Structure 1
Amino acid sequence: MRVLIVHGEAGLAGIWAAHLRRGGAVVDCVGAQEDAVRHLSTHPVDVVLLSLTLSQGSALAIADYASYRRPDTRVIFVNNTQFFSDGSIFNHVSNARAMMPEDTPPEDLTAMVEHYATH
């Protein structure tokens, strides 16, 4: 299972990555749109764990690029605001599979990533 974490807080991304790696995932972490697009253009990815509130770039642009460049890649959004809390993200992003609060326990995020990496 190959996972790309896109989040501006390296510490939090590192915690998530450690949990995923314990489960056998190959995990890369980036903090900005430009780095995510560069990674997706050169590496296959099963799941992108993507912060909806990036300070450098657009999460929606990353999801759109993944849909185009890596059509089998699934996106799990994490969010720390009420933005898209009504579920409308699924109307805008075809490869979105879940929207989870950023404070979801890492083991629960890992379970979701593992689920969507295989389905």
Structure 2
Amino acid sequence: MNVLILEDNAELALLWSRHIERRGAAVTCATGLESAVAALEGSRFDVLLLDIECAGGAALTVSDLAAYRDPKARVIFVTASRFFSDGLLFSICPNTCAYLHSGTPAKDIADMVEHYTAVRA
């Protein structure tokens, strides 16, 4: 299972990646649009964990690119905002499978990643 994390808070990305790696995943962390696009060009990801507030909307661009390159890739959006709490992301980004608060415990985020990786397989 390959996972891409787009999060500009390096400590939070590291926390999430450690929990996900314990489940046997290979994790790539990106801090902005350029590094996330470069990762997508070089690898195929089963699940993308994207902070919707990262780098001025880069998460939506990364989600669109991922959907184009691999329509089966699942996207879990995280945010500290309540802006998309109405479920709009599910209609904007067809590969969205979950929307979580960035304060969600890392273990629960890893559980979600593992679940949607299994669903894809």
TM-score, with structure 2 as normaliser:
0.94
One-letter amino acid of the structure 2 residue matched with residue 88 of structure 1: L
1:27 matched to which residue of 2? 27
Equivalent residue, structure 2, for 1:72: 72
After the TM superposition, which segments of 4 or more aligned residues of structure 1 sit over 4 Å from their partners? Answer: none
Q: Are 1:39 and 2:39 matched, yes or no?
A: yes
What is the RMSD of the two structures over their aligned residues, measured on CA atoms?
Answer: 1.0
| CA offsets 1:4-41 (integer angstroms, 9 cap, x no match) | 10000000000000001111111110100111111111
Q: Which residue number corresponds to residue 63 of structure 1?
A: 63
Secondary structure of the structure 2 residue equivalent to 1:62: helix
Residue pair 2:33, 2:55 contacting (<8 A) in 1 also: no
Other-structure match for 2:90: 90
2-structure distance, mates of 1:56, 1:87: 20
Aligned residues: 119
Residue segments in structure 2 that go unaligned for 5+ positions in a row: none
Q: Distance in 2 between matches of 1:54 and 1:23?
A: 25
Secondary structure, counterpart of 2:55 in structure 1: coil
What do residues 50-92 of structure 1 show as CA deviations (whole Å, max 9, x unaligned)? 0000125521111000000122211000011112111111010
Could you tell me whether the CA contact under 8 Å between 2:46 and 2:72 is conserved in 1?
yes
Task: State the identity %.
Answer: 43
